[in-house]
């Protein structure tokens, strides 16, 4: 009788281990406001779609840093498996994976339509390979167009940032800004508002979504929007710890991929609206709004090709390959 109980206990333990993901909450962490920011909304769409197909998977979303993990530190938590999922700007991980600067390379992804063209390309496959080799699975394909906003002057071409203290979210992007005469300060988007308020920053590049959800129009007087040309375009996907991805069954992985596709389309629609909402919010706050012109954009791209591109390509053979694969998509 005792041996039967031991055998039953062993079977139960094996069943628990094989279904470990089902038996616990899947935590999703991010730094933005719940039910306001599009990244939070799209995460909820993803969860809803997964649960339609598999209600046994339990999710808990922690917005606005409520899980207590700092935005950049989420990458470490994903790598070591203490965090299952996050909405994560991939440029935050360049300190550990320098190749990830590719997802914010100035002038390489000028529009949302171009960002969507990258799905299914060798570029995406190589990016996924590098990310997974470093312990993180990219689940969704969420790109955010971004822009300049400053306290002091309108941003047009490169000369207009001379002397400003700027935030850009990536060291390779910052190489271009320095070449144009700006000084740079690196910080997550959740720290931009107080830094503008205190004078640590005189301007910032961030997503249209963040300018609105974090009310950055309250601390700036000039905005250059990405209505036609996005010099700053960042991949900010829902990602998953590779350790936890590998615990999913093949069927669950397919469910995640189908839910990701649904959330991608939802998020794409939100980003088109986000640019419009950004312009409206700045105008309502009394700021001067400028749409970057084609000559201004081309001047920035010409500078990027002399500064950010070679700086990035020199990081590693994989970086050089990623840049070539990205530029090959027309």
Q: Residue 209 falls within a domain, yes or no?
A: yes
Per-residue pLDDT of the chain (330 residues; tens, 9 = 90+): 444 344 433 433 333 334 444 445 899 999 999 999 999 999 999 999 999 999 999 999 999 999 999 999 999 999 999 999 999 999 999 999 999 999 999 999 999 999 999 999 999 999 999 999 999 999 999 999 999 999 999 999 999 999 999 999 999 999 999 999 999 999 999 999 999 999 999 999 999 999 999 999 999 999 999 988 999 999 999 999 999 999 999 999 999 999 999 999 999 999 989 999 999 999 999 999 999 999 999 999 999 999 999 999 999 999 999 999 999 999
Q: Kindly tell me the burial class for residue 134, based on how many C-beta atoms sit within 10 Å of its own C-beta (0-12, 13-18, 19 or more).
A: middle
The pLDDT, as a whole number, for residue 24 is 59
Range of the domain at 82: 22-327
Name residue, tokens 């000039």. 222
**Residues with Cβ within 8 Å of residue 54, at least 6 apart in sequence:** 251, 252, 255
Domain count, the chain: 1
Residue length, the chain? Answer: 330
Q: Residue 179 class from Cβ within 10 Å (0-12 exposed, 13-18 middle, 19+ buried)?
A: middle
16 in a domain, yes or no? no
pLDDT in the model for residue 5: 41
In-domain check, residue 159? yes
In a domain, 296, yes or no: yes
State the burial class of residue 200 (Cβ atoms within 10 Å of its Cβ: 0-12, 13-18, 19+).
middle
User: Is residue 14 included in any domain, yes or no?
Assistant: no
In a domain, 4, yes or no: no
- Tell me whether residue 5 is in a domain: no
Q: What is the CATH number of the domain that holds 315?
A: 3.40.190.170
169 lies in some domain:
yes
Q: What is the pTM of this model?
A: 0.90
């Amino acid at each position: 009788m005792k041996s039967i109980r031991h055998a039953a206990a062993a079977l139960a333990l094996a069943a628990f281990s094989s279904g470990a993901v089902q038996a616990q909450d899947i935590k999703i962490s991010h730094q933005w406001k719940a039910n306001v920011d599009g990244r939070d909304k799209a995460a909820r769409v993803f969860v809803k779609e997964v649960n339609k197909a598999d209600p046994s998977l339990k999710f808990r979303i922690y917005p606005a840093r409520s899980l207590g993990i700092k935005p950049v530190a989420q990458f470490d938590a994903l790598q070591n498996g203490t965090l299952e999922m996050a909405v994560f700007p991939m440029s935050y991980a360049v300190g550990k994976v320098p190749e990830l600067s590719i997802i914010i390379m100035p002038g390489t992804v000028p529009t949302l339509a171009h960002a969507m063209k990258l799905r299914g390309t060798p570029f995406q496959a190589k990016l996924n390979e590098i990310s997974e080799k470093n312990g993180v699975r990219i689940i969704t394909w969420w790109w955010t167009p971004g822009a300049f906003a400053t306290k002091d002057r309108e941003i047009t071409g490169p000369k207009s940032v001379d002397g400003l203290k700027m935030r850009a979210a990536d060291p390779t992007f910052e190489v271009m800004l320095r070449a144009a005469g700006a000084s740079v300060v690196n910080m997550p988007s959740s720290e931009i508002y107080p830094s503008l308020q205190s004078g640590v920053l005189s301007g910032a590049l961030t997503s249209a979504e963040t300018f609105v959800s974090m009310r950055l129009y309250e601390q700036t007087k000039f905005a250059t929007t990405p209505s036609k040309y996005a010099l700053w375009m960042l991949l900010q996907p829902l990602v998953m710890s590779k350790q936890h991805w590998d615990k999913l069954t093949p069927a669950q992985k397919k469910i995640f991929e189908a839910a990701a596709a649904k959330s991608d389309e939802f998020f794409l629609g939100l980003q088109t609206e986000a640019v419009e909402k950004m312009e409206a919010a700045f105008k309502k706050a009394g700021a001067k709004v400028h749409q970057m012109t084609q000559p201004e954009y081309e001047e920035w791209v010409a500078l990027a090709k002399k500064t950010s591109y070679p700086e990035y390509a020199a990081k590693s053979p994989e970086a050089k390959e990623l840049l070539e694969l990205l530029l090959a998509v027309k």
